[in-house]
Homo-oligomer: A and B are copies of this chain.
Amino acid sequence: MTDHAHTVNVFEEVMARLRGADQRFTPARRELVTTLLAAAGPLSITEILAVTEKIPQSSIYRNLAVLESAGVVARIMSTDEFARFELAEALIGHHHHLLCQVCGAMSDVTIPHEIETQLDTTLNKLAIANGFALEHHRLDLVGKCSKCL
């Protein structure tokens, strides 16, 4: 997620979404978006704090909440207690996660389009059969990352 051509579009899109939600694109929010954009996967508050040391924790929480309600950021839970944050899929594309059970790190991965498409087809049928209105799916690979092997 470090492609520069995309980066420009991401920032424009973020600005548009914040405007649409009557919210400003403040320096703190810009730094949060930059941090999430540079990350290899969803970040915990602790990880975000380590990078953006000048922003107080409460501001991080509050701004992430604003960004989330503006559709810029997605908040996800992994296996542990604390939340992780990433840019919304509308901004960085649909993807999945490698979740390390040892260090807790999450990193982004994508699966081949054909598999994704076939999976979607199957899941849609499954949803219909259960009277469920499917909006999206979440697929995580759980195991040990290369650093923890």
A138 touches B142 (CB 8 A): yes
Interface positions of A from 123 to 149, Cβ below 8 Å from B: 123, 126-127, 130-146, 149
Interface positions of A from 86 to 107, Cβ below 8 Å from B: 98, 100-101, 107
Q: Answer whether A141 and B119 are a contact pair too, CB < 8 Å, given A77-B79, A79-B77.
A: no
B133 touches A149 (CB 8 A): yes
- Asked if A56 is at the interface (CB within 8 A of a chain B CB), the reply is no
A133 touches B144 (CB 8 A): yes
- Asked if A63 is at the interface (CB within 8 A of a chain B CB), the reply is no
- Asked if A1 is at the interface (CB within 8 A of a chain B CB), the reply is no
Number of interface residues of A (CB under 8 A): 39
Q: Which of A16-24, A30-38, A109-117 lines the interface with chain B?
A: A109-117
Q: Answer whether A141 and B122 are a contact pair too, CB < 8 Å, given A76-B79, A79-B77.
A: no
| A101 surroundings in chain B (CB, below 8 A) | 135
| A139 surroundings in chain B (CB, below 8 A) | 137-140
- Asked if A2 is at the interface (CB within 8 A of a chain B CB), the reply is no
State the Cβ distance, A20 to closest chain B Cβ, in Å.
21
Report A's interface with B, CB cutoff 8 A: 75-81, 98, 100-101, 107, 109, 111-112, 115, 118-119, 122-123, 126-127, 130-146, 149
